[in-house]
Structure 1
Amino acid sequence: MKQPLGVILAGGQATRMGGGDKGVRLLGGRRLFDHVLDRLAPQVAGVALNANGDPARFADLNLPVIADSIDGFVGPLAGVLAGLDWAASEGANAIVTVAADTPFFPCNLVPCLQLAGEGTAHPLVLAATPDPKRGQARHPTFGLWPVALRDDLRAALADGVRKVVQWTDQHDGRTALFPDEAAFFNVNTPDDLIRAEAML
């Protein structure tokens, strides 16, 4: 199976963290971006960063920086679309997205997503973890997305679709279940950063 490209989603406004780029916050003396890259890069054929504003502020990451093509911070689907358009220009057939504020995601994320998508023409898979109430909780910023569906996603965004699972459910999206809920712990607030230090 062809290795997908990786896209780090960092296009949000980080309001609960006081604004700015969450990915540059330090965890164990290294940026969140560095932790995320360490886990993602070995699993994919190449990595880009989805972020808005001046791309020069990320120059030292040495990554392509791709901005949302839809204005107004409409959520992670806009970042997914930007990633799919970039992947199409690179000749890739799929991307895997991860969140810039989630430093402990599984080191086998990509193969598990690919395995869950086997047997479908256009594998569309979200990561999930066990949930005592719902059976499983999906993590919409962690997914395998086929380039073949990018124009469908563009049309859905133009029609006002904002919820990731609303769109993935329309396309028989699957889930890949990961046993460790803590793996998808994300750093939203300064208190979360303190928790992440303890987890590290």
Structure 2
Amino acid sequence: MIAPYGVILAGGRATRMGGGDKGRMMMGDRSILDRVIDRLSPQVPRLALSANGDPARFADLQLTVLPDSIEGNPGPLAGVLAGMDWAAHLGASHIVTAAADTPFLPGDLVPQLLLAAEAQGKPIALASTPDPEHGVVRHPTCGLWPVDLREDLREALADGVRKVVLWTERHGTALAAFPTDRGDPFFNVNTPEDLDAARGMA
């Protein structure tokens, strides 16, 4: 398998943050998105950004910007599909996605997702962390996706599927477990309070 390409999902509307590109908000001397790029780019041979609107606002990042091919802001699955189409065109067999608001991503995200998919015999792998109440929490925007499922995903989106796990469960999903003893590696910044907390953790 060719090493998976990376796609950062930045297509959300950030309504709880007041709109705009929340990945551009600063944590110290670097933005949230800069920190995601720093953590994911060493793990993949190519990296792209899934985002809608004017791509010129991301020109400084020097990344390919992938708009949704499905209208109506259907959510992260549309970003996954855009990433699949991009990677398939370049000859890659898989992509790994991460959210643009997760500045503490694990440095071993990609190898652990690959290992989980292989060990559990599933085509898709999602990151997970332990939870004292629910046992395990899945992080559906941080996953490994085979590009040969892109037509199935395109049909599912056309049929109105929006929740990631509703689609992944059709195909079988491995879970890659990540520890939280040094903090939640998938802490995501959704609100101003989250941003303050992230700045403190950084």
TM superposition score normalised by structure 1: 0.97
Moved more, 46-55 or 118-127: 118-127
| 1:73 CA displacement | 1.0
SS in 1 for 2:37: helix
Decide whether the 8 Å contact of 1:16 with 1:188 is kept in 2. yes
After superposition, the CA RMSD in angstroms is 1.3
Decide whether the 8 Å contact of 1:81 with 1:154 is kept in 2. yes
1:70 aligns with 2:70: yes
> For 1:140-196, what per-residue CA distance to the aligned partner results, in whole angstroms no more than 9, with x for missing partners?
100000001000100111111111011111101111111126111111111111100
Q: Distance in 1 between matches of 2:123 and 2:29?
A: 37
Partner residue in 2 for 1:196: 198
Distance 1:94 1:122, change over 3 A: farther
Partner residue in 1 for 2:12: 12
| 1:134 CA displacement | 2.1
Count of paired positions: 200
| 1:57 CA displacement | 0.5
Partner residue in 2 for 1:134: 134
Decide whether the 8 Å contact of 1:51 with 1:68 is kept in 2. yes
Decide whether the 8 Å contact of 1:122 with 1:148 is kept in 2. no
Q: Distance in 2 between matches of 1:122 and 1:88?
A: 20
SS in 1 for 2:185: helix
Q: Distance in 2 between matches of 1:189 and 1:135?
A: 25
SS in 2 for 1:105: coil
Q: Which runs of 5+ in 2 are unaligned?
A: none
Q: Distance in 2 between matches of 1:131 and 1:120?
A: 21
Aligned-partner residue type, residue 60 of structure 1: D
Decide whether the 8 Å contact of 1:124 with 1:145 is kept in 2. yes
Distance 1:185 1:121, change over 3 A: closer
| 1:121 CA displacement | 7.4
1:184 aligns with 2:190: no
| 1:28 CA displacement | 1.3
Q: Distance in 1 between matches of 2:193 and 2:131?
A: 23
Please give the residue correspondences for 1:137-176 in structure 2 after superposition, counting only pairs within 5 Å: 137-176=137-176
Aligned-partner residue type, residue 63 of structure 1: L
Q: Aligned residues: percent identity? A: 64
Moved more, 64-73 or 179-188: 179-188
Distance 1:128 1:120, change over 3 A: closer
TM superposition score normalised by structure 2: 0.96
Provide runs of 4+ in structure 1 moved above 6 Å.
none
> For 1:39-69, what per-residue CA distance to the aligned partner results, in whole angstroms no more than 9, with x for missing partners?
0000011000000000000000000000000
Aligned-partner residue type, residue 145 of structure 2: W
1:117 aligns with 2:106: no
> For 1:112-135, what per-residue CA distance to the aligned partner results, in whole angstroms no more than 9, with x for missing partners?
000001167772100000112222
Decide whether the 8 Å contact of 2:122 with 2:173 is kept in 1. no
Aligned-partner residue type, residue 123 of structure 2: P
